């Protein structure tokens, strides 16, 4: 039996939006996206019992992503530049060490150095068979290390 009620959509964050990377895109060269972001996501109406979430996301200069969800755990993925200020993101993980896997595909626009906005699509799969998909919006704020 699949129980998705525990899924705070957080499963699913950086969840930046639903457009796949263009064929000519390659990981890396993410420039201003490089850094640590606090991502707040709001799922659209959905049948997955997803709720608003806040995640921390680290993106390296080469486009590698580590997403930390306080309710679900860690996901990994890649970011691509898909336009001058637009980025495509995909990352993947498992829900609480189970066979349920989540996949996030997203697109976000860099509004300024410290803010991203976009849309995401989350797909949940059980042993490779998708059983729930939902979409939503995200807003991300850059976190910056400060001298102590």
3-state secondary structure of 118: strand
Q: Which residues on adjacent β-strands are paired with residue 41?
A: 53, 138
Supply the pLDDT for residue 28.
Answer: 61
What is the Cα–Cα distance from 114 to 41, expressed in whole angstroms? 16
Task: Locate the domains of the chain by residue range.
Answer: 9-142
**More confident of the two residues 4 and 65:** 65
Give the span between the Cα atoms of 5 and 28, in whole angstroms. 36
Q: What is the pTM of this model?
A: 0.79
> What's the confidence (pLDDT) of residue 59?
95
Give the pLDDT confidence of 85-131 residue by residue, as tens digits. Answer: 999 999 999 987 678 899 999 999 999 999 999 999 999 999 889 99
Band of the pLDDT at 26, cuts 50, 70, 90? Answer: low
Structure token pair of residue 127? 């042993």
Tokens of 70: 């306080």
Who has greater pLDDT, 10 or 132?
132
Question: Which CATH number applies to 9-142: 3.90.25.10, 2.40.128.120, 2.70.98.10, 3.30.360.10?
Answer: 2.40.128.120
**In contact, 132 and 44? CB cutoff 8 Å:** no
9 pLDDT higher than 70 = no
Q: pLDDT per residue over 34-66, tens digit each?
A: 999 999 999 998 779 899 999 999 999 999 999
């Amino acid at each position: 039996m699949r129980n998705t009620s525990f899924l705070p959509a957080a499963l699913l964050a950086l969840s930046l939006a639903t457009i796949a990377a263009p064929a000519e895109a390659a990981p890396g060269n993410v420039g201003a996206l490089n850094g640590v972001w606090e991502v707040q996501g709001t799922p659209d109406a959905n049948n997955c019992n997803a709720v608003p979430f806040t995640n921390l996301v680290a993106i390296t200069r080469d486009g590698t992503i580590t997403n930390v969800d306080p309710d679900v755990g860690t996901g990994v993925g890649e970011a691509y530049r898909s336009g001058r200020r637009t980025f495509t993101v995909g990352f993947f993980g498992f829900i609480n060490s189970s066979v349920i896997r989540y996949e996030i595909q997203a697109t976000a626009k860099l509004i300024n150095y410290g803010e991203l906005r976009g849309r995401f699509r989350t797909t949940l799969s059980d042993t490779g068979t998708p059983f729930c998909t939902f979409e939503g919006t995200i807003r991300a704020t850059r976190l910056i290390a400060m001298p102590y």
